[in-house]
Amino acid sequence: MDTPAELGNFLRSRRARLQPADVGLVSYGGQRRVPGLRREELAQLAGVSVAYYTRLEQGQSGNASDGVLDALARALRLTPDEHAHLRNLARPGRAARRPATRPATARAATRQLIAAMGAVPALVLDARYDVLAWNPLGHALLAGHLDAGAPERPAERPNTQRLLFLDPHVRELYPDWEFEARRAVSSLRLAAGEHPDDRQLAELIGELTMKSPEFAALWSRHPVRGCTSGVKVFHHPLVGPLELAFQMLRLPDSGGQGVLAFSAEPDSASDAGLRLLAGSVATAPSASPAAGASPADRISGPAPARGGGRPAR
């Protein structure tokens, strides 16, 4: 990722969303050449020289102090996540770096943990949102049309961001897909700032930018937000509507891995639907169906043959 360029783009996007009146400055009218605050206005608010701020926005100053970055964050009214992102972009040498190593794997203890969570959909994700492991209910909830063993093969690992934007089956899971897309891009922006040297993460962003106009449009707005908890609304092809709380539990000393788990309000319709899905998983055939099968086929198996012909589709 071109971190200096990203820093400039991020600062310009945040200047553009503020008007002088928003920050207590007097606007004397007339035609403004740029949307939002001018560089000199932001520099005044942050207490730095215009020349210094210009160098920073152009990526020519890689040693900005905490005081300067904190002042800019206050002037731009950044959220805590945006403030952390600004620090990562302004000083990429201090951001977490991912060395070039063999493909990541989930620890045995982590796999054991999610396997024990039989009634809870759970996945192990790395920092770029590759699925390193999932339990049967997590697989059935999010990607039942994919081979359950795909996370074990690095070249075929599902990526939750790629699935959301490029897989029509996953897209149909979300009644409010646009909201999920915004949330996903916000999280990916934060990850990109935390791991500026991750080549595979940069390749993923490039792929999504090329293949999904919706991703490209959202990415250009520079949203930044860490989405570690909240609620996701699904329309699952097997059990219908589900409203599930989610938590992303970061694992220490794991290079950014985390466990993503879902739960339903006890005795709710979503709780009943989740139990129904768990029951379907428990009775599913042990053999892995073809990767292209629909979610219903993957759990229920193909329909019996009609009149000696091919199995009904």
Q: Where is pLDDT greater, at 252 or 278?
A: 278
Nearest-CA neighbor of 34 among 46, 42, 44?
42
Distance between CA atoms of 25 and 28, rounded to whole angstroms? 10
Tell the CATH topology of 3-94: 434 Repressor (Amino-terminal Domain) (1.10.260)
Convert the pLDDT of each residue in 138-154 to its tens digit.
999 999 999 999 999 99
pLDDT over 80 at 198, yes or no: yes
Question: CATH 3.30.450.180 residue ranges in the chain?
Answer: 108-286
What is the arithmetic mean of pLDDT over 260-269?
Answer: 97
Q: Comparing 31 with 203, which gets the higher pLDDT?
A: 203
Beta strands in 97-228 (DSSP E): 122-125, 131-134
Measure the CA–CA gap between 234 and 240, rounded to whole angstroms: 8
CA–CA separation, 177 vs 284, rounded Å?
Answer: 29
Looking at domain 108-286, does it have CATH number 3.30.450.180? yes
Give the span between the Cα atoms of 281 and 261, in whole angstroms.
17
Pull the structure tokens for residue 154: 């690095």
Could you give the residue range(s) of every CATH 1.10.260.40 domain in the chain?
3-94
Whole-number Cα distances in Å, 137 to 14, 259, 274, 281: 41, 14, 9, 7
Average pLDDT, the chain: 85
Q: Cα dihedral angle (129, 132, 136, 137), rounded to 10 degrees?
A: -20
Q: Which single residue is written with the structure tokens 């790395």?
A: 126
Using the Cα atoms of residue 154, residue 155, residue 157 and residue 159 in order, give the sign of their dihedral: positive
Q: Are strands 122-125 and 229-236 parallel, antiparallel or unpaired?
A: unpaired
Percentage with pLDDT > 90 across the chain: 57
Given a contact cutoff of 8 angstroms between Cβ atoms, the answer to whether 218 and 185 are in contact is yes
Is the Cβ–Cβ distance between 219 and 209 less than 8 Å? yes
- Mean pLDDT, rounded, for 83-98: 73
Compute the distance between CA of residue 59 and CA of residue 271 in angstroms, rounded to an integer.
Answer: 50
Q: pLDDT (tens digit, 9 = 90+) per residue, 266-298? A: 999 999 999 999 999 888 765 444 444 444 444
pLDDT at 31 over 80: no
**What pLDDT shows up at residue 301?**
41
The mean pLDDT value for 92-115 works out to 76
Q: Is the pLDDT of residue 203 over 70?
A: yes
Q: In which band, very low, low, confident or very high, does the pLDDT at 243 lie, cut at 50, 70 and 90?
A: very high
Give the model's confidence band at 213: pLDDT under 50 very low, under 70 low, under 90 confident, else very high.
very high
Which stretches within 126-198 are classed as H helix?
136-143, 160-166, 168-171, 177-194
**Average of pLDDT values for 223-230?**
90
Q: What pLDDT digit, counting tens, does each position of 19-29 carry?
A: 888 877 766 55
Between 134 and 256, residue with greater pLDDT: 134
What is the predicted pLDDT for the residue at 226?
87
- Number of residues written out for the chain: 313
Question: Where residue 36 falls among pLDDT bands split at 50, 70, 90?
Answer: confident
* Segment 86-107 mean pLDDT: 71
Per-residue confidence (pLDDT) for residue 114, from 0 to 100: 97
pLDDT given for residue 32 in this prediction: 65
Pairwise pLDDT comparison (300 vs 29), residue with the higher score: 29
Structure-token pair, residue 218: 């959202």
pLDDT band at 310 (very low <50, low <70, confident <90, very high): very low
**pLDDT given at position 28:** 53
Radius of gyration (C-alpha) of the chain in whole angstroms: 23
Whether residue 208 has pLDDT greater than 90: yes
Give the pLDDT confidence of 109-130 residue by residue, as tens digits.
999 999 999 899 999 999 999 9
- Is the predicted pLDDT of residue 188 greater than 60, yes or no? yes
**pLDDT value at position 291?**
40
Comparing 195 with 285, which gets the higher pLDDT? 195
What pLDDT is attached to residue 30? 56
Share of the chain above pLDDT 70, in %: 83
**DSSP code for 273:** H
Specify whether the CB–CB gap between 52 and 39 falls below 8 A: no
